[in-house]
Amino acid sequence: MEIGLLNQGVTLMLVGMGTVFSFLTILVMAMSLMSSIVVKFAASGSDDDVSPEEVAAITAAIAVHRKK
Amino acid sequence: MEIGLLNQGVTLMLVGMGTVFSFLTILVMAMSLMSSIVVKFAASGSDDDVSPEEVAAITAAIAVHRKK
Amino acid sequence: MEIGLLNQGVTLMLVGMGTVFSFLTILVMAMSLMSSIVVKFAASGSDDDVSPEEVAAITAAIAVHRKK
Amino acid sequence: MDLIRQIWIESGIYQISSGQIAMIAICLLLLYLGIVKKFEPLLLVTIGFGGLLSNIPGVEIATGNGLLHLAYVTGIETGAFPLIIFMGVGAMTDFGPLLANPKTLFLGAAAQFGIFATLLGALGLTELGIMDFSLREAAAIGIIGGADGPTAIYVAGQLAPHLLGAIAVAAYSYMALVPLIQPPIMRLLTTEAERKIEMVQLREVSKVERVVFPLLLLLLVALLLPSAAPLLGMLCFGNLMRECGVVDRLSDTTQNSLINIVTIFLGLAVGSKLSAEQFLDWSTLSILLLGMVAFAIGTACGLLMGKLLNKITKTPINPLIGAAGVSAVPMAARVANKVGMEANPQNILLMHAMGPNVAGVIGSAVAAGIMIMFAS
Amino acid sequence: MDLIRQIWIESGIYQISSGQIAMIAICLLLLYLGIVKKFEPLLLVTIGFGGLLSNIPGVEIATGNGLLHLAYVTGIETGAFPLIIFMGVGAMTDFGPLLANPKTLFLGAAAQFGIFATLLGALGLTELGIMDFSLREAAAIGIIGGADGPTAIYVAGQLAPHLLGAIAVAAYSYMALVPLIQPPIMRLLTTEAERKIEMVQLREVSKVERVVFPLLLLLLVALLLPSAAPLLGMLCFGNLMRECGVVDRLSDTTQNSLINIVTIFLGLAVGSKLSAEQFLDWSTLSILLLGMVAFAIGTACGLLMGKLLNKITKTPINPLIGAAGVSAVPMAARVANKVGMEANPQNILLMHAMGPNVAGVIGSAVAAGIMIMFAS
Amino acid sequence: MDLIRQIWIESGIYQISSGQIAMIAICLLLLYLGIVKKFEPLLLVTIGFGGLLSNIPGVEIATGNGLLHLAYVTGIETGAFPLIIFMGVGAMTDFGPLLANPKTLFLGAAAQFGIFATLLGALGLTELGIMDFSLREAAAIGIIGGADGPTAIYVAGQLAPHLLGAIAVAAYSYMALVPLIQPPIMRLLTTEAERKIEMVQLREVSKVERVVFPLLLLLLVALLLPSAAPLLGMLCFGNLMRECGVVDRLSDTTQNSLINIVTIFLGLAVGSKLSAEQFLDWSTLSILLLGMVAFAIGTACGLLMGKLLNKITKTPINPLIGAAGVSAVPMAARVANKVGMEANPQNILLMHAMGPNVAGVIGSAVAAGIMIMFAS
Ligand code: NA
Ligand code: NA
Ligand code: NA
């Protein structure tokens, strides 16, 4: 039975290292693919809803209101 | 029975909006009353127990003690 | 029985104050002993693993890498 | 070989259901809205990620002893997380504009009509045989119209936990959509002349008034509507810590570390309710639809009450600030300000709109109290 | 109409009892003391507000699954909150003055007589048939004399939870009253000449001594009085984090976010014990009375021990610093400093008084350990 | 007199066992290593002090309703604390170097051989009749070779809670010993020429890549290895909060208050498992021995994979950075940098070594997922 335990360990080692390498290999490929896609479609980003002028006006309004 | 449910809903709407308005009306009156009272008896505030000189002395003492 | 309770209280007071004083007396002695030992073997301290030059190099490397 | 087979059987590819794939797509959409579109990111990012985690097949994270499930049980079922968030909101809210102009509370009251109209709508769908909502469920759905995230989560957690995911997603999504939903309604219901109305500057509010206000509010709640006391009580506690000036270190922690920590776990816990069985249901579509209606009705009622108030009071009131009565602090107030500036570039309504804005928070907590009293 | 009737029946006005009205008045008084008079505001504001919340009729917030009750069960019944506060106190305490002058520990020891005298007083009232305190209750009341909030809450939570509200209120109120209670006693028991005594400057304390001290204290506690180990252990842990210099980020968080968060929930949880049935009782009046006596006796014993020490040691000791032995850190040390400066404006006693002040914390934790050992 | 006798009977001197004395000495050693030698102080100081507290005789602090036991039950048994720490690690980790050079993931993969070799070693000792480890125990011991504290605690808490103390102590001690353990192996397995290899500068990584990466990693885990999802999911969540740029306040709190609070209670809770019965056992010695072997094998495999990669890829790779694949972030990367500079003072490998370093974190979380899947 103890031989069995060691056997289990060997199997777990082989399967485990296999899984670690397989998973990380897939991750390497996925990352490379993702990076190449991202580089192609350079991110367009998003704009703020509030313009700088509006921020200035708001800040002024708050300053006027609170001034304490 | 479904008519009953809708009836319940109508009642709940009427009572609910009634309560919201009543409560906020009372709150408006209470706030106005409170503000007028506060404005009359302009808050006297409270004084610190520790005078500035004492603070200075204590700070000096700590500085002398620690200086490291 | 109530006399008993008061008696218990007196005993607890005597034993309690005795313990507080004994404990703090032992603490005073232990602290004095500790301080005298520490003063004798002035602490040697420990050194960092990373030299200043290395820190400078690392900082430079990070700065070069990130610069964004 | 058995082990490799086991890896395959336990893999996500083998186990995943089409419902889970759909939910993962929906959660990625929520993350997109939060991160790229900046829709209420604090909640949509955490809810979205929580949803992703809870749709990974075969993992005990949103069930059993899993972290997300524990967060749900200890924080949402007990109501603790939304109450702590409300304490944080109280510590971050300046009731000064409301104290300077108490009658803006009526705007916050009117906008709550969206809540009750939606309740009625949900029951109407049931009567028509389209859906099958109970009174408790309809009440929980109605609260979306309150435009107040923690209130909606608190009520849904009490009355209809199985709808919590959909209700929270709807509430936060529409709060983020306020800048799109409200302006057309505002332009429709007000005249150019009304939008141009300038308001008199707000008076200074003394420190004593600020300190007394949360206590006054709590006492009125205690005397008149105790069922609203948990939500409003914690709001008042946070605000008292903020204004009293002697516990600043507690107030700072409440506004920062504490509310942030609770937000993270609240979001993850809400996300744990985004399971395919519960979310991919016609009820979710109805909830999204009804929530949209609730917002629109609330906005409209706030505007109409603004027009009425402007007529019956001496000091001029720009009806636009009524739209801020739905809450969605501070977004709705900013929208009112923006639409007002379009009509009159000198017209800075922001501070005037903050009054009805925070009044809307109080109003929907009151409405929540009534819902909990009757529907539970 | 039924609904309106239900609102009325569930309203506070309908349900409230005279006891709850009285408790609300008392809680408003605590808030007044905390906010306007700045009496230990961190605790009186949180306890007072918790008391308000728990006296709102008909709401489950201080009972069942309510937030305050959950905080009480998880934080006070288990002792976790006072222990975490003690860790924070350790992280904020500088034991340097005590290390520089260890014999001031005797002052901290003497002042604990107030604890045991009060225990005796409570049992005496029982013997006279005026009150009916058990030994456990008397022990919990006595700890008020320790002038140390978390210690009092910890002991009361273990020995007499039903008195927790009154004991915590008494402890924090009297700690705040130290500047009023102590000076007359100090002037009565010391001569003008004694109050003028100047003390030699404290020696520098090395970092190694500071790091070793909490470990030394913990080991002595472990060997001699394990029942004091939870309280003193957490104090030592906080202090070790402070002094060891390698875990500053943990020490900072302990002194700020963590202690603030726990203080908020500790205060609310203690407040949840301010119910009319438990608080509006003759025992509360006795506790307030006995607590006052405890403070006075503790102060007097500290002063007398100061006079004795001054006689039997070579280096001069100003007996005023003995009054700081009751703890109430750092208030009592400041009072000693102030009374000393009245007699001799060049006489800065503050640092000398910090030694007995922190010694008083250790002393009352030791006394608490003895109480818990015998009374439980 | 009975009372004095009771004090004596309940004193530590009377009750203490030789095992407890030994454990106190060991905990003082851990504190010494943490404070004076600066070995992973955040954990060794908290674990060491927790161990001291839990070896005080006759006190309920690491058992029953004691604070440390509560922390263990709520935080370690449920896995919540290590998962929250992992979230914090994610929020503090810059995956940029890994994104710039994905093939360094292979280095992080190779270094995990230490985990499985140690598992085999533990089972070998059992076969030889020296020890008696089950497969679950062997798996938990193997994870020490992952050189990642929270992963080791998470796995041990799931698979072998009775070994948790020894495993955590071994993991953090060896992580701190990385600067001593790794250099000889590095010099043995690489040639002077290899150590001199300079690497091309890493490319800039765009913000979009940084934001997409945690989602990509999570989705792969979900599809391929769900059992690793709790650990990697929380890591990804923390990292997404860090990189997405719209929830900075949540990210800041995660990196500071939250991770600090959890670290304190994690350390104390792990310390509560340092009881004499469980720690003073031959298994602890075996664990320390096996842990050392695990580190050495992991380092060696990382180096050998580095040599292989250098041969088969066009761009030069300095094999030293393979040693950083064991994790122990950022210590192992610093060691690689240092050894590289000894051979070639112009050779700054730090950023290149960060790639395998964080890859090692992912690799051991994957290995942990496999262990949990098969051994539980
Ligand atoms: Na609202
Ligand atoms: Na004391
Ligand atoms: Na690793």
Structural domain contains residue D10: no
Q: Does A56 touch chain F (CB under 8 A)?
A: no
Task: Please choose, from the candidates F121, F183, F108, the residue with its C-alpha nearest in 3D space to the C-alpha of residue F365.
Answer: F108
pLDDT one digit per residue (tens) for chain E, 376 residues: 677 888 888 888 888 899 999 999 999 999 999 999 988 999 999 999 999 999 998 887 888 888 999 999 999 999 999 999 999 999 999 999 999 999 999 999 999 999 999 999 999 999 898 889 999 999 999 999 888 999 999 999 999 999 999 999 999 888 888 999 999 999 999 999 999 999 988 888 999 999 999 999 999 999 999 999 999 999 999 999 999 999 999 999 999 999 999 999 999 999 998 988 888 888 898 999 998 888 899 999 999 999 999 999 988 999 999 999 998 888 999 999 999 999 999 889 999 999 999 999 999 999 999 999 888 7
- pLDDT on residue F83: 96
> Is residue F252 classed exposed, middle or buried when 0-12, 13-18 and 19+ CB atoms within 10 A define those classes?
middle
E chain contacts of residue F31, beta-carbon cutoff 8 Å: 215, 240
C chain contacts of residue F348, beta-carbon cutoff 8 Å: 57-58, 60-61
Asked whether the beta carbons of F45 and E244 are under 8 A apart, the reply is: yes
Asked whether the beta carbons of F147 and F179 are under 8 A apart, the reply is: no
Pick from A46-50, D256-260, E36-40 the range whose average pLDDT is largest: D256-260
Ligand nearest to the CA of E105: 2
Taking only the tens place, the pLDDT of each residue in D161-215 is: 999 999 999 998 888 889 999 999 999 999 999 999 999 888 889 999 999 999 9
Torsion angle, alpha carbons of E88, E91, E96, E99, to 10 = 70
* Contact: F244, D42; criterion CB under 8 Å: no
What are the residues whose beta carbons fall under 8 Å from the beta carbon of E135, sequence distance 6 or more? C5, C8, C9, C12, E123, E374, E375
Vertex D24 angle, CA D19 and D25, to 5°: 100
Ligand 3 centre distance from Cα of residue F115 (Å): 9
Structural domain contains residue D16: no
From the list C13, C21, C28, the residue facing E120 with the nearest CB is C13
CA distance C22 to D96: 58
Ligand 1 centre distance from Cα of residue B33 (Å): 25
- pLDDT on residue E263: 97
D chain contacts of residue B6, beta-carbon cutoff 8 Å: 120, 123-124, 126-127
Taking only the tens place, the pLDDT of each residue in F244-294 is: 999 999 999 999 999 999 999 999 999 998 988 888 888 898 999 998 888
Asked whether the beta carbons of F26 and F33 are under 8 A apart, the reply is: no
Ligand 3 centre distance from Cα of residue F365 (Å): 7
* Contact: C8, E123; criterion CB under 8 Å: yes
Element (H, E) at B10: helix B2-40
Structural domain contains residue E7: no
CA distance E209 to F112: 43
The amino acid present at E153, given as its one-letter code, is I
Asked whether the beta carbons of F60 and E79 are under 8 A apart, the reply is: no
Name the domain count of chain E: 1
**What does the block give as tokens for E19?**
């006891």
Ligand nearest to the CA of E301: 2
Task: Please choose, from the candidates E164, E120, E111, the residue with its C-alpha nearest in 3D space to the C-alpha of residue E139.
Answer: E120
From the list C15, C46, C68, the residue facing F37 with the nearest CB is C46
Q: Does E15 touch chain F (CB under 8 A)?
A: no
Chain D closest CA to F233's CA: distance in Å? 7
In chain F, positions 322-351, which contact chain E (CB-CB < 8 Å)?
none
C chain contacts of residue F38, beta-carbon cutoff 8 Å: 46, 48-49
Q: Does B34 touch chain D (CB under 8 A)?
A: yes
Structural domain contains residue F17: no
Q: How would you write chain E as a 3-class SS string?
A: CHHHHHHHHHCHHHHCCHHHHHHHHHHHHHHHHHHCCCCCHHHHHHHHHHHHHHCCCCCCCCCCCCHHHHHHHHHHHCCHHHHHHHHHHHHHCCCHHHHHCHHHHHHHHHCCHHHHHHHHHHHHHHHCCCCCCCHHHHHHHHHHHHCCHHHHHHHHHHHCHHHHHHHHHHHHHHHHHHHHHHHHHHHHHCCHHHHHCCCCCCCCCCHHHHHHHHHHHHHHHHHHCHHHHHHHHHHHHHHHHHHHCCCHHHHHHHHHHHHHHHHHHHHHHHHCCCCHHHHCCHHHHHHHHHHHHHHHHHHHHHHHHHHHHHHHCCCCCCHHHHHHHHCCCCHHHHHHHHHHHHHCCCCCCHHHHHHHHHHHHHHHHHHHHHHHHHHC
* Contact: A61, D348; criterion CB under 8 Å: yes
Structural domain contains residue F14: no
Cα-to-chain-centroid distance, residue E77? 18
CA distance E25 to E17: 13
Ligand 3 centre distance from Cα of residue F265 (Å): 23
Residue of chain D whose Cα is closest to the Cα of F237: D49
From the list A5, A30, A34, the residue facing F123 with the nearest CB is A5
D chain contacts of residue F249, beta-carbon cutoff 8 Å: 42, 256, 260
* Contact: F257, E257; criterion CB under 8 Å: yes
Ligand 1 centre distance from Cα of residue D112 (Å): 6
Ligand 1 centre distance from Cα of residue D104 (Å): 13
Structural domain contains residue D42: yes
Structural domain contains residue D11: no
φ/ψ of residue D220, rounded to 5? -60, -45
Q: Quote the domain boundaries for residue E370.
A: 22-52+61-375
> Coil, strand, or helix at residue C45?
coil
Q: Give the neighbours of chain F: at least 3 Cβ pairs within 8 Å.
A: A, C, D, E
Would you call the peptide bond into F41 cis, given omega within 30 degrees of 0 as the criterion?
A: no
> Is residue B59 classed exposed, middle or buried when 0-12, 13-18 and 19+ CB atoms within 10 A define those classes?
exposed
Structural domain contains residue F138: yes
Task: Please choose, from the candidates D95, D124, D118, the residue with its C-alpha nearest in 3D space to the C-alpha of residue D299.
Answer: D118
From the list E227, E236, E246, the residue facing F45 with the nearest CB is E246
From the list E11, E31, E263, the residue facing D250 with the nearest CB is E263
Q: What is the ipTM of this complex?
A: 0.90
Q: Does B36 touch chain E (CB under 8 A)?
A: no
Q: Does F216 touch chain D (CB under 8 A)?
A: no
Q: What is the pTM of this model?
A: 0.92
> Is residue F355 classed exposed, middle or buried when 0-12, 13-18 and 19+ CB atoms within 10 A define those classes?
buried
Q: Does F241 touch chain D (CB under 8 A)?
A: yes
* Contact: F45, E240; criterion CB under 8 Å: yes
Q: How does DSSP classify residue D346?
A: T
CA distance F160 to F96: 35
What are the residues whose beta carbons fall under 8 Å from the beta carbon of E306, sequence distance 6 or more? E107, E190, E317, E318, E319, E320, E321, E322, E323
Task: Please choose, from the candidates E129, E286, E135, E289, the residue with its C-alpha nearest in 3D space to the C-alpha of residue C7.
Answer: E135
Q: Which ranges of chain F have pLDDT less than 70?
A: 1
From the list E4, E38, E337, the residue facing B46 with the nearest CB is E38
Asked whether the beta carbons of D144 and D174 are under 8 A apart, the reply is: yes
